[in-house]
Amino acid sequence: MQATVKKPDSEKEIVLKGIGVSSGVAYGRVFLKPGHEENLVEHAIAPEDIPKEIARFEAALIATRRQIKEFQKQCDPEVGSIFDAHLLILDDRPFIEKVFAGIENQRKNVEAVLYDVARGFIQSLHKVNDNYVRERAADVQDVTRRVFLNLAGHKGSLADLNEKGIIVVANDLTPSEIVSLDKEIAAGIALDLGSPTAHTAILAAKRGIPAVVSLHDISRAVRAGDTILIDESKGIVVVNPSKERREQAFHQAEVRRGIVSRLAKIKTLPAETTDGYRVMLSANIEGPQDVEAVLESGAEGVGLFRTEYFYMEQNKAPSEDEQYEAYREVAKRLAPSPVIIRTLDIGGDKFLPDMDNSWKESNPFMGWRAIRFCLAQPDLFRTQMRAILRASIYGNIKIMYPMISNLDELVRANVIFNQSKKELMDRGLPLNPRIEVGAMIEVPSAAVAADALAPHVRFFSLGTNDLIQYTLAIDRGNERVAYLYEPTHLAIIRLMKHTIDASHHYGIWTGVCGGMASDPLLVPLLLGLGVDELSVTPSSLLIVKDAIRSVSYNACRKIAELSLNSRRETDMENTFRNLAKKIAPEILELAH
């Protein structure tokens, strides 16, 4: 436990400013993620609220007692007996009476009083000259933690939630926790940390859960059961929102949905500029369950199949046959459209469920990640290669390696790829011998050396989120440096232009599958730089196509030329907005 934090006594409307990362408006009761008790909130209570606080404490004791007894029934009797001591603590009258007295005399919320009382008990036990008694301090600490969780309304992990329409509030969430959330249960997400390009934000958007991040201390400013409003378009969370504010927010959301609905008329039209410049417009997916959204969006294929989430959704790494079935299903349903399958991009903030945790690193985004991890785990890599190759006969599958940083990595990956092909052919299994292989360009060294990499692949795909992170030395999950995240930074524009030109020189194409592709304001810039393909979230596809179809290629080239020579990112942002206002003002309504 750490120092307590004062919470405002007032129940008036409180507006917290953050960054909207997943579109939509949500209103509901707060669920505080377990573990936040370490950031304990202390606040004064009115005399008439004393019985209510005591009742909360008693209810939490009853819930904790019931949970421990249920746990004892499920485990070996010898193990279950260990928790008898926990039950005795829950019935310890001196302990309980001290909490009651603290609530009445100090007029503080039960969490603050319980913290002080438990700490006093633990300190006293530590002073006793008897090992057995001293060890009971750990029991008091564990029981107190369970009571805190019940006071906050927790029943277990996020996956165990069953109350519909709640707003998940936390210091941060991992990608696997986002994956475990049921959209019917979680109406919205509000986090202390995070940025628009963190994997948590990307997954929230992918799952269609409204989210605002980088709120700094919302997990300490609200209590379980508070009602809050999330408005992604304004990047705000409102505690105790007024009826007028709620109605206005939902009205604006309805207006935005109306715009998206009207854009449905361009669903089957090509992604080409007013003067006939054509690009490929694809979708990003995480698994076979996303194919329907791809078809509904009018995408021309899949430009990024993030296979790591298929791994993370299971208790252990999927077998070759399980992967083969998943890749085959996607390829068959979308044939003859292309499906670009990115090989396992684990590491950073993404981990396999059955992975040995001993390899965790202090700076994982710069460490053993993506292709580096796969090359060091050749059996795991070959298993995925074989699964993709076997599925390749059912559609237009392509393979893409993530986080290539030098030619050696690319050559070694191709060696394993060719070994996997030969292994399958020796076994007489069919595959597409002409399957195309590409590389993601998301590390500055790869962008600079694009001309050396190009002869070894059939396409590049710019992963702009990581390219920006690594080029500008910005942790994409750190809200304190989020203001430095500049997609239009001169260095980023020049690296992208160099990559695109190198690919064209060697007769291959370059796409963009990072966050920049899904931003309609940046579409003219990307087209002007010469990008051949954009791969976006299915929910962004129509507005991106609207941006493409509203602008001329000639205007795009001028925008790109300006960006390649501009010294101030803010000037270009204004230029992009002014162009959108002129050609398609609805973009400004929908863009972040």
φ/ψ of 407, rounded to 5, equals -65, -35
Q: How far apart are CA 541 and CA 263, in angstroms?
A: 10
566 Cβ contact list (under 8 Å, min separation 6): 488, 490, 572
Token pair of 110 as six digits: 């039960």
Interstrand relation of 280-285 and 5-6 (parallel, antiparallel or unpaired): unpaired
Q: How far apart are CA 430 and CA 390, in angstroms?
A: 7
φ/ψ of 168, rounded to 5, equals -80, 120
Q: How far, CA to CA in Å, does 272 sit from each of 81, 279, 394, 403, 549?
A: 70, 6, 29, 30, 5
194 Cβ contact list (under 8 Å, min separation 6): 19, 21, 172, 200, 201, 213, 214, 477, 479
Question: Which stretches of 14-130 are DSSP H helices?
Answer: 50-74, 77-80, 84-90, 93-106, 110-127
Quick check: is 199 catalytic?
yes
Specify whether the CB–CB gap between 503 and 497 falls below 8 A: no
Report helix, strand or coil for 504.
Answer: helix
Quick check: is 513 catalytic?
yes
Q: How far apart are CA 340 and CA 511, in angstroms?
A: 11
Annotated catalytic residue, options 199, 374, 489, 556: 199
Q: How far apart are CA 485 and CA 584, in angstroms?
A: 26
Annotated catalytic residue, options 86, 489, 513, 556: 513
Positive or negative: CA dihedral 301, 304, 310, 316: positive
Specify whether the CB–CB gap between 216 and 21 falls below 8 A: no
Specify whether the CB–CB gap between 466 and 443 falls below 8 A: yes
For 302, the enclosing helix (H) or strand (E) is strand 302-306
Q: Just list the catalytic residues.
A: 199, 513
